[in-house]
């Protein structure tokens, strides 16, 4: 199973209580399930967020269809206000 790092930004960072953490997951869907288990506020923020995998936007792709390569960096980007 691939390992990597998830980085939280803005409200996701606040909800997670950390800026980043290591993960082990095959897909973005698996990762989202793991990081939001028993973290209701983070789950709420994640539902509204955009994601980058190694700098590439996930867009509207189904999270369970987004494979995570070994060493992936997943960034969780909540909606930002302002310019």
What string of DSSP letters covers 19-80?
SEEEEE-SBHHHHHHHHHTT-HHHHHHHHT-EEEETTEE-TTS-GGG-B--TTEEEEEE---
Q: Is 82 a domain residue?
A: no
**Per-residue tens of pLDDT for the chain, all 83 residues:** 999 999 999 999 999 999 999 999 999 999 999 999 999 999 999 999 999 999 999 999 999 999 999 999 999 999 875 54
Domain count, the chain: 1
pTM, two decimals, is 0.93
Round to whole Å and give the CA distance between 34 and 75: 15
Domain of 63 in residue numbering reads as 3-72
Q: Is 80 a domain residue?
A: no
| Contact partners, residue 71, CB within 8 Å, separation at least 6 | 2, 3, 4
Give the domain CATH number at 18: 3.10.20.30
- What pLDDT shows up at residue 82? 54
- What pLDDT shows up at residue 80? 78
Q: Is 48 a domain residue?
A: yes
Q: Is 32 a domain residue?
A: yes
Q: Is 81 a domain residue?
A: no
């Amino acid at each position: 199973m691939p390992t990597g790092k998830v980085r939280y930004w803005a409200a996701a960072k606040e909800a997670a209580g950390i800026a980043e953490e290591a993960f082990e997951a095959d897909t973005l869907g698996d990762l989202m399930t793991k990081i939001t288990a028993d973290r209701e506020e983070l789950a709420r923020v994640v539902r509204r967020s955009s994601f980058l995998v190694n700098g590439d936007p996930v867009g509207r792709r189904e999270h369970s269809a987004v494979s995570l390569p070994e060493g992936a960096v997943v960034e969780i980007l909540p909606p930002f206000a302002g310019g």
